[in-house]
Amino acid sequence: RLQKGWTSPVYAFFEPTPNIEYTDGRRSHVFKCLGKNCKQHVRRYLDKGDAKSTSNMMKHIKSCWGEPAYEAVQDARTAQLARTTVVQDILKTGSITTAFERKGKGKVTYSHRQHTKTETKAEIVRWVAESSCPFEMVNDQGFQSLMKTGRPEYYLPSPSTVSRDVKLVFTRVRHRIARMLQSYEGELNFTTDAWTAPNHKVFVAISVHLEHEGQPLAILLNIVEVAKASELIKVRINKKTNWTTTSHILVRTWQKHSQKYCQTSECQTR
């Protein structure tokens, strides 16, 4: 009869049927954690006013499974639903990322297991690329302390390895974008923007705009230094000269670098 009221998602992390034990004549339910290699039990005495309290179970879940795992089951209406949609995935894959995505949560996800060597390299490539971190960051003492404390054997790549991996990923992504643009059935809109850096070097940015899966998508294709920067500077200094020369330089720069992404002459001159 008591089990009918155990609908809280926290029960999903424990065996469905607890053991009944007696201690000094006091009856209690002992819940065994489902975590791998976990030998902890949560005891709940039935002669107390908080006989249905789940506070100790919640504390154990957070320390054993982690906060993300606990948060992942909060939207489940019953313990059975949480057990089949979240806990079983964690026990099978060791990760709650799949469970988060399946539940449609729009938040950052973290895995319940440690990264493999390949996954670590991939995550570091993403980190240095998105956060503009120097490759030497992996040798930083503070960073290594954060990564290796509690797991001194954890693999961290060298700066040269990170540099090589970033270049490799860049090359593969560029080829992937090229194939996507070449096979795109709709219209592609290319834009350019030019500016002069404080060191008097002139750069041109080339981007493409398209609709992808019903959503507008803008991709920065390249940023290149204009070879004839002196001509652009002269145009800006000499007020009598119009911007025709500038336009010709931009067009030549675009035609040169667009070949990496487009093969047809129509695409290159659009």
Query: Is residue 223 scored above 90 in pLDDT?
Result: no
- Specify whether the CB–CB gap between 191 and 207 falls below 8 A: yes
In the prediction, which pLDDT does 262 show? Answer: 56
Q: Mean pLDDT throughout 9-17?
A: 87
Name the residue with higher pLDDT: 147 or 97. 147
In the prediction, which pLDDT does 118 show? Answer: 84
- Specify whether the CB–CB gap between 157 and 168 falls below 8 A: no
Grade residue 141 by pLDDT with cuts at 50, 70 and 90: very high
Query: Is residue 270 scored above 50 in pLDDT?
Result: no
- Cα 242 from Cα 219, distance rounded (Å): 30
pLDDT in tens, 38-63: 888 898 888 877 778 888 888 888 88
- Specify whether the CB–CB gap between 177 and 196 falls below 8 A: no
- Specify whether the CB–CB gap between 224 and 203 falls below 8 A: yes
The answer for residues whose C-beta is within 8 angstroms of residue 48's C-beta and 6 or more apart is none
Query: Is residue 100 scored above 60 in pLDDT?
Result: no
- CB count in 10 Å sphere of residue 96: 26
Tell which residue, 210, 203, 205, has the closest CA to residue 177: 210
- CB count in 10 Å sphere of residue 226: 19
In the prediction, which pLDDT does 268 show? Answer: 45
Grade residue 201 by pLDDT with cuts at 50, 70 and 90: confident
Grade residue 238 by pLDDT with cuts at 50, 70 and 90: very low
Whole-number average pLDDT of the chain: 77
Query: Is residue 140 scored above 90 in pLDDT?
Result: yes
In the prediction, which pLDDT does 51 show? Answer: 76
Identify the residue whose tokens are 């090589």: 164
Joined tokens for residue 89: 């995935």
Q: Can you give the three-state secondary structure of the chain, one letter per residue?
A: CHHHHCCCHHHHHECCCCEEEEECCEEEEEEEECCCCCCCEEEEECCCCCCCCCHHHHHHHHHHCCHHHHHHCCCCCCHHHHHHHHHHHHHHHCCCHHHHHHCCCCCCCCCCCCCCHHHHHHHHHHHHHHCCCCHHHHHCHHHHHHHHCCCCCCCCCCHHHHHHHHHHHHHHHHHHHHHHHHCCCCCCEEEEEEEECCCCCEEEEEEEEEEECCEEEEEEEEEEECCCHHHHHHHHHCCCCCCHHHHHHHHHHHHHHHCCCCCCHHHHHC
